[in-house]
Amino acid sequence: MAVVDPVTDPAVTTSPVESYNEWDPLEEVIVGTLGGCAVPACETAVAAVVPHRQKDFFERNAGGAFPAEYTARAAAELEDFAALLTSLGVRVVRPDALDQRRPFATPDWSSPGGLYSAMPRDVLLIVGDTVIESPMAWRSRYFEAHAYRRLLMDYFRRGAKWISAPRPRLLDSLYDEDFDDERPYRSGRYATTEAEPTFDAADFVRCGRDLFAQRSHVTNLAGIEWVRRHLGDSYRVHLVEVADHAPMHIDATFMPLAPGKLLLNPERVKTVPSCFDSWDIRFAPQPALPEDHVLYMSSAWVSMNVFMVDERRVVVEAGEAPLIDFLQDWGFDVLPVSFRNVIRFGGCFHCVTADVRRRGELRSYF
Ligand code: GLY
């Protein structure tokens, strides 16, 4: 019997990757892992977003380990989340837990180590049948996509399109050490300049033919323009103006949850693109996280970083009682999952996932 080789066989035309928005029924998802994680060096674009009280920790521990107690508890929470999705009939796959506590260098600079493979949302921008590897601005994340290459090669063999955005050089000229850590959205002084395109995929959210992006300390306008030109005429990429003192990742700020339902951060979004005029737009309640909960790389607003299993069912951090009530009142079925240890590492359910396949098609919601 002839063996079909999908890499060379022109008859293989379907893709195992197909995901156009944040809410179609989920069929396959990548859930990150904390195995091998390292404390990133406190370079300019890291210092711009880590909570001020954590800067010493990063300076002292760059290239080393996070506290073992936190990583163990977070790893257990990730397993519970993955098990929940599996129990709902979703195929869950995991990246490789590469050892990030190893120094590396390019011809231009060196880093005491990497970061992790916990947040696939940052690394992989999935638009339709295409996976785009992000040109990330943190030097510690330069090789982060390697943890996904086993999965990506499998998707490619089975028909997915796969591209890496131009690999940035991340020279000193990309960084502005005098970035504005109060109102970068007013002064335009972000931690990254426009020296070359950089973006994290998590600075984009997808609503079919329309994608919404924010300028952040890691995503520059050149990066957004690269995505716009790469996607071409089938998509529209809109810039959302956000008043965030430490912007990095749009998904704790601006979250389209379902057709006609947009969740906003009440402290950050000042103007909503007019295409949402007919949508029901609501502001999330304040996070319930205790003030003294240790967060290394985000604000407590990662409470908003929820994850849609389909347009009704939403995974929410179990301690976020006000948000749970709010989403139930809005007509959602809430699936509460404990995740307070994972969020120490910079993201919640939306960040730790990349939705590889959702059952649906490319359409316009506006
Ligand atoms: N990176 C999103 C936040 O910290 O709120």
The string of DSSP letters for 233-282 reads GG-EEEEPPB--SS---GGGTEEEEETTEEEE-TTTB----GGGTTSEEE
**Sheet arrangement for strand 236-239:** 204-207, 210-213, 236-239
The model's pLDDT over 167-214, given as tens digits with 9 standing for 90+, comes to: 999 999 999 999 999 999 999 999 999 999 999 999 999 999 999 999
Section 26-35 average pLDDT: 98
DSSP collapsed to 3 states, 12-41: CCCCCCEECECCCCEEEEEECECCCCCCCC
- The Cα–Cα gap between 235 and 364 comes to 9
**Number of other CB atoms surrounding residue 6 within 10 Å:** 16
Q: 97: burial class by Cβ within 10 Å (0-12, 13-18, 19+)?
A: middle
- The Cα–Cα gap between 205 and 272 comes to 14
The answer, yes or no, to whether residue 7 has pLDDT greater than 60, is: no
> If you measure from the C-alpha of residue 153 to the centroid of ligand 1, how many angstroms do you get, rounded to a whole number?
31
> If you measure from the C-alpha of residue 265 to the centroid of ligand 1, how many angstroms do you get, rounded to a whole number?
10
Could you confirm whether 351 is annotated as catalytic?
yes
Residue of 122, 200, 210, 355 marked catalytic: 200
pLDDT value for 352: 98
The answer, yes or no, to whether residue 5 has pLDDT greater than 80, is: no
The answer, yes or no, to whether residue 3 has pLDDT greater than 80, is: no
Residue 224, phi then psi, degrees to nearest 5: -65, -40
Question: Taking Cα atoms as reference points, which of 245, 241, 186, 193 lies closest to residue 48?
Answer: 245
The region that residue 159 occupies, defined by phi over 0 for left and psi between -120 and 50 for alpha, beta otherwise, is left
> If you measure from the C-alpha of residue 270 to the centroid of ligand 1, how many angstroms do you get, rounded to a whole number?
17
The model's pLDDT over 250-278, given as tens digits with 9 standing for 90+, comes to: 999 999 999 999 999 999 997 899 999 99
> Considering only 47-56, 103-112, 118-127, 144-153, which range has the smallest mean pLDDT?
47-56
Could you confirm whether 154 is annotated as catalytic?
no
- The Cα–Cα gap between 102 and 83 comes to 31
Query: What's the pTM value of the predicted model, to 2 decimals?
Result: 0.95
14 pLDDT tier (thresholds 50, 70, 90): confident
Could you confirm whether 129 is annotated as catalytic?
no
Average pLDDT, the chain: 96
The answer, yes or no, to whether residue 225 has pLDDT greater than 70, is: yes
* One-letter identity of residue 70: Y
